[in-house]
Amino acid sequence: MAKRTATLLGMLLLAIAAPAAAQGTWSSHAPMPTNRGALQAAAVGDTIYAVGGYNDMGGFTAYDRNEAYDTVAGTWSVRAPMPTPRYVLAVGAVGGKVYAAGGNPGGSIIATVEAYDPAANAWNPVASMNFARSNPSAIGHGGLLYVIGGTNFGAVPYVEAYDPATNTWTMRASMPTPRLQLSVAEVDGIIYAIGGSNEWTPTTLGVVEAYDPTTNTWTSRAPMPNRRQGAFAASINGIIYVIGGYRDGTYLDTVDAYDPESDSWHTDTPIPGGPRYMAGGAVVGAAAYIVGGIASPTDFVARNESFRPGQDLPVAAEQCRDGGWIAFGVFRNQGDCVSFVATQGRNRPAGG
């Protein structure tokens, strides 16, 4: 009896060990009021703030635009303009405020940083970065704003952390690979720097490096299979989705998904509205929103689309226990033993 049970359990493990990843779905929403690319965005609560950028049809004029999308109401509003118009900037949210760092106001590279308070609908200058740069990326984590990479007439590896409590910047360990137009996202306290460009070759990169703020160290991870720059990276339920971008003269609509736990990649559902390069992006709840961007050299868009990951994604065949039942399978997005038993029916009494 024991041998028969072991054989059946072994067959069950084989059946569920490596299913195909469920694909995500896209939705379209009200377009942004202003067509533009080279903007950035961040979310505070349920609202996304799309800041800066430019529109080639306007002659590369840097924008001060600050437009807010309420993801609950599905509407846009125009908010207080950014004091320093700029494009190819970095934007991140910390402590209920949106920070705009660096960028290009038109013909120069700056270290200027300004903070937007949505509650007061007002901007205030804060301490400038130690190093001026355009095309960096920013992310809020642990009460700090991290600005990573960028260019100042050459790709740079620099990482700076801003503390709003003291209004000070601190240099942190540099990235192993200098680059601009990289994508950043955080999972379980680790910041991932993905793709980008080394500018001078020029080469679009697929390199992935992980930064641990606690130890101030970097490690290399599995490279992205479809290298890209100027993409948006969204962290949802422990998976990083890298959306759109540009590579070798091609504007991209593709999506690659990275699982830090298994250090592996899979391809997900492409953007239905078409390519998006240097768009703004933010995560609200379990959805990644991508707004504006560049679809071709002459097409600066106002599109607003959101991506939701697929559900029921087993990532391992593993025994787990819940109450009086044993189930097999660990689910990435929805998955304790109870939901697995309920949806799949693959279970047996514990000890039976």
Confidence of residue 271 (pLDDT cuts 50, 70, 90): very high
- Residue 22: band (very low, low, confident or very high) from pLDDT cuts 50, 70, 90: confident
pLDDT value of position 56: 81
Report whether pLDDT(54) > 80. Answer: yes
In CATH, which of 3.30.460.80, 3.30.930.10, 2.120.10.80, 3.40.50.1970 is domain 25-308?
2.120.10.80
| Average pLDDT of the residues in 308-324 | 52
Task: Say what the pLDDT of residue 245 is.
Answer: 98
Tell me the pLDDT tens digit for each residue of 55-106: 986 678 999 999 999 999 999 999 999 999 999 999 999 999 999 999 999 9
DSSP per position, 277-326: BS-EEEEETTEEEEE--EEETTEE---EEEEE--S--EEEEEEEEETTEE
What secondary structure does DSSP assign to 105-152, as a single string?
SSSS----EEEEETTTTEEEEEPPPSS--BS-EEEEETTEEEEE--BS
pLDDT for residue 351 is more than 50: no
Length of the chain: 352
* pTM metric for this prediction: 0.85
pLDDT at residue 342 greater than cutoff 50:
no
Token code pair at residue 1: 């009896």
Q: What percent of the chain has pLDDT over 90?
A: 79
Q: Does 326 score more than 80 pLDDT? A: no
The pLDDT assigned to 58 comes to 65
Lowest mean pLDDT among 90-94, 197-201, 211-215, 332-336: 332-336
User: What are the sequence ranges of the domains in the chain?
Assistant: 2-17+315-349, 25-308
Closest CA to 197 of 245, 262, 264, 242: 245
pLDDT value of residue 60:
81
Determine the average pLDDT of the residues in 158-165. Answer: 98
Cis geometry, peptide bond prior to residue 202 (ω within 30 degrees of 0): yes
Inter-CA distances, 3 with 6, 12, 13, 136, Å: 5, 14, 15, 59
pLDDT at residue 59 in the model: 73
